[in-house]
Structure 1
């Protein structure tokens, strides 16, 4: 498959109002949402498109509280670059799977026994005696 660099390229835009930037964000979200099956096929991911869509929604929802138009414009610009790089296959599978890394990370042990079972002995002193 050959990629055409300008296939998804857009010029940088400055939003005139908060409503306009929200409309641009919804448009970008829809593009991501619609391309989830293609993304799974393109990168041969072993996650279904529904999981990719849920992760994309989570990423967009994390920035829902932003109200500054200039900040939103920069975030939209970066998100569109991410979309273009992803859909033009300029990434590798580990780049895509990094989106899911926080779900796969094991919780850090908190209590003494959890640390012991995990093989952590941070409380040991150089002489071999614990605190």
Structure 2
């Protein structure tokens, strides 16, 4: 009984917004961030001399934004926007290095083989 009263009190608590007051404002911030990155990509490719084309970078930008499409909490969206703005600023001022940019294309780590035959083929042991 007491636990349910506590959970009701927690649910009713209002949290202070980071930047946006509603979903439309958060959406505008995300779109503005996307546009800023999109415009900056040709300069990033040129300045960092990465082995990717502008089209590949724009495709990766879109996929990175699509990863977070499911987010609904405004505070989380705002935090992601702030981090994206910081990353963009670091790229613009060339505070990052090309290896930091190339980490967006980093492949996922494959799990180590566990059975004998897989270990033998991969040369692990």
The two structures share one fold, judged by TM-score above 0.5? yes
What is the TM-score normalised by the length of structure 2? 0.76
CA root-mean-square deviation: 1.8
Find the aligned partners of 1:34 and 1:26 in 2 and give their Cα distance: 12
What's the CA shift for 1:86?
A: 0.9
What's the CA shift for 1:114?
A: 3.5
What is the TM-score normalised by the length of structure 1? 0.73
Equivalences for residues 111-122 of structure 1 within 5 A: 112-121=116-125
Correspondence 1:90 to 2:88: no
What's the CA shift for 1:60?
A: 0.8
Q: Which residue of 2 aligns with 1:70?
A: 75
Find the aligned partners of 2:93 and 2:39 in 1 and give their Cα distance: 15
- Structure 2: gaps (5+ residues): 1-17
Matched-pair contact (CA < 8 Å) for 1:36–1:49:
yes
Q: Which residue of 1 aligns with 2:40?
A: 35
Find the aligned partners of 1:55 and 1:116 in 2 and give their Cα distance: 35
Number of aligned pairs? 107
Find the aligned partners of 1:112 and 1:61 in 2 and give their Cα distance: 39
Q: Which residue of 1 aligns with 2:20?
A: 15
Matched-pair contact (CA < 8 Å) for 1:85–1:91:
yes
Matched-pair contact (CA < 8 Å) for 1:109–1:118:
no
